[in-house]
Amino acid sequence: MNIWRLVRKEIGYRRLNFAQAMLGVLVATAGLVGPMTVLRAYSIRAENRLHTMEDDYRKQTLKYGFNVRVIPAGQDRGDFFEKGYATRTMDQAYAQKLADSKILTTIRHLTPTLRRKVLWTEHKRKVLLVGSHGETPLKERAHRKKAIIKIIPEGEIDLGYDLWSSLGLKAKQEVVFLGRKFTLRRCQPEQGSEDDISIWMDLQAAQELTGQVGKINEIQAVDCRCAMADAEKIRTELSEILPNTQVILKVKMAVARAKARLTAQQVRVAELKDKQALAAVTAAFLIVGAAVWISLLAFGNVRQRTMEIGILRAIGLSGRRILSVFLVRSLLIGLVGAVAGVVLGGCLGAGVAVAWGEVTEFSQVGALFSPLLFGLVVLCSPVLSAVVSWPPAILAARQDPAVVLSRE
């Protein structure tokens, strides 16, 4: 005979009391696990959507190329928009200073550029010369993004559609530009923009050809989605790093739409956090209710067993043993109730998630069950049950057998 057998037999004898207490634990744990499972489904779906939209937005942004243009502070915007480039210049070192900044978070793909409209004297054509030596790598960016423009090797040029098509030029052909020989690397497709009359070449060559050595008139960049960058944020950050510049943002409708969708999804994810908090508060109320319920039932159980406790004390069971009888019982209530609650709550939660369309494939159901949550619930419930049963158990252990047996 041992305590475990005594507890087991008592539970079998007073099934109703045990079942009522266990039901309390079951309701509390199912009340916690069920909503958490539904919210987990909601969360997984929302996160997936968010990632998809972030990716869409990134692609949209890259598709439309650079959307941030950093130009000299004193540049008149009217001239800038009329000519399509800044007439003022700034030091090429600005780009490096920006790339080396420890506080830069809002933009990436920094590309120092020199743009100038010049006369292609050999063909008597006005062209837009674009000099670039590719992206300046960011010093502080742990995961640098893949460059979105390719470096044009020294001695080579790319030509816009109007130029190569009207002059009958082909790739790999030798071209003379302002007295310097270049190899035509690529003939760009028609864009319907100033790109069609553009010549792209290495920055240094462009600087030398225009007499602007060490100068640029623009740093092209892309705003950084991961930092939730907006115009105000970008301007604030750049004014700290490069005070002698100003920022011009290009907004495309498709990008704006993608950004709106992304923002809406981010709001949805934020709302999810509110729902999780509400579920946690509800579960907390259920747990407190269950704790009170279990404690009352344990008091009832002790009261019902007064004489039994008296006789067990008389035949030699110590107060500590009596305490363990009641604590083992409450641990069992917590354990059995928690396991049943986790199974019931998990199944109900998954069912609701499927019914609400948060889960569309059977293979996704497994991801709804959080082993950490289930483990914590199954571990904490018996402990909580034992804690709330502690006062009645102490009462039982401290019962004076002489007083009990004198009532005979």
Enumerate binding residues for other proteins (CB under 8 A): 1-3, 5-6, 9-10, 12-14, 307-308, 310-321, 401-402, 405-406, 408
Query: What is the three-state SS of 37-76?
Result: HHHHHHHHHHHHHHHHHHHHHHHHHHHCCCCEEEEECCCC
Nearer to other proteins, 102 or 407 (CB): 407
3-class DSSP state of 133:
coil
Task: Specify the residue, 284 or 311, whose C-beta has the smaller distance to other proteins.
Answer: 311
Shortest CB 17 distance to other proteins, Å: 12
Q: Which is nearer to other proteins, 355 or 405 (CB)?
A: 405
The distance of closest approach from Cβ of residue 11 to other proteins in the complex, given in angstroms and rounded to an integer, is 9
3 state DSSP class of 175: strand
In the bound complex, what is the minimum distance in angstroms from residue 327's beta carbon to other proteins?
15
Nearer to other proteins, 287 or 309 (CB): 309
Question: Are 345 and 34 a contacting pair, CB within 8 Å?
Answer: yes
Q: Residue 12 or residue 189: which is nearer to other proteins going by CB?
A: 12
Place of tokens 């993004």: 145
Distance linking the first and last C-alpha atoms of the chain: 27
CB nearer other proteins, residue 163 or residue 317: 317
Determine which helix (DSSP H) or strand (DSSP E) holds 130, and give its type and residue range: strand 125-132
Q: Classify residue 308 by burial, with Cβ atoms within 10 Å: 0-12, 13-18, 19+.
A: middle
Q: Map tokens 């893949």 to a residue.
A: 146
CB of 296 to other proteins, least distance (A): 22
Task: Decide: 95 and 220 in contact? Cβ < 8 Å.
Answer: no
Taking the complex as a whole, the smallest distance from the CB of residue 387 to other proteins amounts, in Å, to 24
Quick one: which of 209, 118, 123 has its CA closest to 168? Answer: 123
Least Å distance between CB 306 and other proteins? 11
* Shortest distance, position 324 Cβ to other proteins, whole Å: 10
Measure CA 47 to chain center. 7
Alpha carbon distance 347, 340 (integer Å) = 11
d(CA 242, CA 214): 17
Residue with Cβ nearer other proteins (2 or 363): 2
